[in-house]
Amino acid sequence: MQPSIRQLKAFVAIAEHGSFVEASERLHLSQPALSIAIRKLEESAGGVLFNRSPRGVQLTPEGRYFLPMARRLIGDWDDALGDLGELFNKERGKVSLAALPTLAAGFLPAVLADYRRQYPNIAINVHDVLANQVDELVSSQRADIGFSVEPGATEAIHFEPLVDDHFVAVCPHGHPLLENQTVRWEELIAYPIIALSRLSSTRHAIEGVLQSLGAEMNVMCEVSQIGTAGRMVAAGLGVAALPSLSFKQISAEGLEWRPLTNPYVPRTLGVITPARSSQSAAAKAMLEIVKNHAGSLGPL
């Protein structure tokens, strides 16, 4: 049987006071309970730790050898409990997030600023990655919370919707497509397209639309970052189909947008968490703040 912290504390108290009576008063234990604790500790150790005599209690050589180790074990235990208390009280800890670049740049800054004001000692790590990487980071528990499009069916992660986004046509000022209030997909793909990487969830959704239309797009240039796509469009190299929320990242590039229709393509964004494990106190606090800010996450 492994010794308990109670037994170790009983051992140290008796060693320091040289008396069962004084040790029982210090620990607020009855003398019979203290005697039982020491007997069980000695049974676990395999030998006697104290010499009892009418003049008091003295450590055996083995007891003297064990005393500093017992003190260290008690100290480690107390430190561990203190650390746990700080984690549960959100006085320390860390939280790791994985987010689509659109959400990492357009939604998280305000969330993290609010979180930092409330919990200044919690470290925050943000991975701005593609949708499949968000899913993988959360399912493998390398990220506590993910922000992404709704994933495919999986038992490893849970998805909670935050906002329904949609696609827009992004054009440079003065482009003919801007003459109407909306743009049809077939009208958009009549022009050279600045496309995002085939690995991105945006590109995957666009390919699905084109497949349903039996159409193809003329990709002038393929890029990995929305900011790069915006600069390419602003330079007159082509037009782009992007989620409306991402337009906020490139609105300063001299660009305009119109809703894409025929078909209208919704895009649900939300929070992804591990399905089979509980969240840390730091992560739970982050989720509460995310929900408080969800109302600000509106599409164009």
Q: What is the pLDDT of residues 28-45, one digit of tens each?
A: 889 899 999 999 999 999
Bridge partners of 159, per DSSP, are 272
**What's the pLDDT score for residue 91?**
81
Helix (H) or strand (E) holding 259: strand 255-261
pTM of the model: 0.76
Q: Taking the mean position of all CA atoms in its chain, how far away is CA 197?
A: 25
- Is 250 found in the same domain as 114? no
Q: Six-digit token pair at 117?
A: 């004001």
Bridge partners of 157, per DSSP, are 274
- Is 155 found in the same domain as 133? yes
**Average pLDDT of the residues in 53-61:** 86
Q: What is the pLDDT of residues 2-31, one digit of tens each?
A: 889 999 999 999 998 888 888 888 888 898
- Is 272 found in the same domain as 157? yes
Q: What is the pLDDT of residues 69-108, one digit of tens each?
A: 999 999 999 888 888 887 787 888 899 999 998 899 889 9
Residue with tokens 């919707």: 161
**What's the pLDDT score for residue 300?**
66
**Which residue range is the domain that position 292 belongs to?**
93-162+268-296
How far apart are alpha carbons 261 and 185 in whole angstroms? Answer: 6
- Is 157 found in the same domain as 273? yes
- Is 113 found in the same domain as 254? no
- Is 63 found in the same domain as 181? no
Bridge partners of 161, per DSSP, are 270
- Is 132 found in the same domain as 210? no
CATH of the domain at 114: 3.40.190.10
How far apart are alpha carbons 267 and 203 in whole angstroms? Answer: 12
- Is 128 found in the same domain as 157? yes
E-only strand ranges, 91-156:
93-99, 122-128, 145-149
- Is 144 found in the same domain as 286? yes
> Residue 16: left if φ>0, alpha if ψ -120 to 50, beta else—which one?
alpha
SS3 (DSSP) at 198: coil
Helix (H) or strand (E) holding 26: helix 20-27
Q: Which of 24, 55, 88 is the last residue of a domain?
A: 88
Number of folded domains that form the chain: 3
How far apart are alpha carbons 300 and 284 in whole angstroms? Answer: 29
CATH of the domain at 201: 3.40.190.290
- Is 273 found in the same domain as 262? no
SS3 (DSSP) at 159: strand
- Is 74 found in the same domain as 64? yes
Q: Which residue has the higher pLDDT, 217 or 155?
A: 217
- Is 261 found in the same domain as 188? yes
The percentage of the chain sitting over the pLDDT mark of 70, rounded to a whole number, equals 99
Q: What is the pLDDT of residues 123-179, one digit of tens each?
A: 999 999 999 999 999 999 999 999 999 887 777 899 999 999 999 999 999 999 999
Report the amino acid identity of residue 246: S
Mean pLDDT of the chain: 91
**What's the pLDDT score for residue 53?**
82
CATH of the domain at 73: 1.10.10.10
Above 80 in pLDDT, residue 188? yes
Q: What is the pLDDT of residues 240-275, one digit of tens each?
A: 999 999 887 887 778 999 999 999 999 999 999 998
**What's the pLDDT score for residue 217?**
95
